[in-house]
Amino acid sequence: MHDSLETQTPRPDAAGVLPATAGGYVAPQPAVEFRNIDIAYGKFVAVRNFSLAIRKGSFVTLLGPSGCGKTTILRSIAGLVDISAGQISIGGRRVDDVPIYKRNIGLVFQSYALFPHKNVFDNVAFGLKYRNVPKAEIARRVGKALEMVRLPGSEKKLPSQLSGGQQQRIALARAIVFEPEVLLLDEPLSALDANMREEMRVEIKKIQKETGITAIFVTHDQEEALSMSDQIVVMNAGTMEQIGTPEEVYDTPATAFVADFLGKANMLPGVVTAMDGSRATITLPAGQVVTAVSPKVLGAGSRITVVVRPQKMTVGAALPVNRLAGRVISTSYLGGNAIYEVDVGGGMIIRANTQIEGRLAREGDAIDVGFDPAGCVLLDENGLRVA
Q: What pLDDT score does 13 carry?
A: 55
User: What is the rounded distance in angstroms from the CA atom of residue 383 to the CA atom of residue 278?
Assistant: 20
* Average pLDDT of span 45-49: 96
User: What is the rounded distance in angstroms from the CA atom of residue 251 to the CA atom of residue 283?
Assistant: 23
User: What is the rounded distance in angstroms from the CA atom of residue 89 to the CA atom of residue 176?
Assistant: 20
**Which tens digits make up the pLDDT trace of 123-143?**
999 989 888 899 999 999 999
**Which tens digits make up the pLDDT trace of 269-328?**
999 999 999 999 999 999 999 999 999 999 999 999 999 999 999 987 667 689 999 999
Q: What pLDDT score does 355 carry?
A: 86
Q: Is 344 exposed, middle or buried (0-12, 13-18, 19+ CB in 10 A)?
A: buried
CATH number of 264-379: 2.40.50.140
Q: What pLDDT score does 301 carry?
A: 96
Percent of the chain with pLDDT over 90: 76
Percent of the chain with pLDDT over 70: 92
Q: What pLDDT score does 7 carry?
A: 33
* Average pLDDT of span 221-237: 95
Residues 6+ apart with CB under 8 A from 253: 242, 259, 262, 265, 307, 377, 385
pLDDT at 254 over 80: yes
Cβ contact 373:279 at 8 Å: yes
User: What is the rounded distance in angstroms from the CA atom of residue 279 to the CA atom of residue 281?
Assistant: 7
Which residue(s) pair with 378 in the sheet? 306
Residues 6+ apart with CB under 8 A from 360: 331, 333, 338
In the chain, the largest separation of any two C-alpha atoms, in whole Å, equals 76
Q: What pLDDT score does 335 carry?
A: 86
**Which tens digits make up the pLDDT trace of 72-92?**
999 999 999 999 999 999 999
Mean pLDDT of the chain: 90
| CA dihedral of residues 226, 11, 48, 72 (deg, nearest 10) | -40
Q: What pLDDT score does 263 carry?
A: 81
Class in CATH terms, 28-257: alpha beta
Check for a shared fold between 28-257 and 264-379: no
pTM of the complete model: 0.87
Q: What pLDDT score does 109 carry?
A: 87
pLDDT at 366 over 60: yes
Task: Spell out the alpha helix ranges (H) of 212-274.
Answer: 222-228, 246-251, 256-261
Domain map (residue ranges) of the chain: 28-257, 264-379
User: What is the rounded distance in angstroms from the CA atom of residue 233 to the CA atom of residue 213?
Assistant: 19
Which residue(s) pair with 333 in the sheet? 338
Q: Which of 2-6, 16-20, 212-216 has the highest mean pLDDT?
A: 212-216
Determine which helix (DSSP H) or strand (DSSP E) holds 107, and give its type and residue range: strand 105-108
Q: What pLDDT score does 281 carry?
A: 97
User: What is the rounded distance in angstroms from the CA atom of residue 16 to the CA atom of residue 51?
Assistant: 8
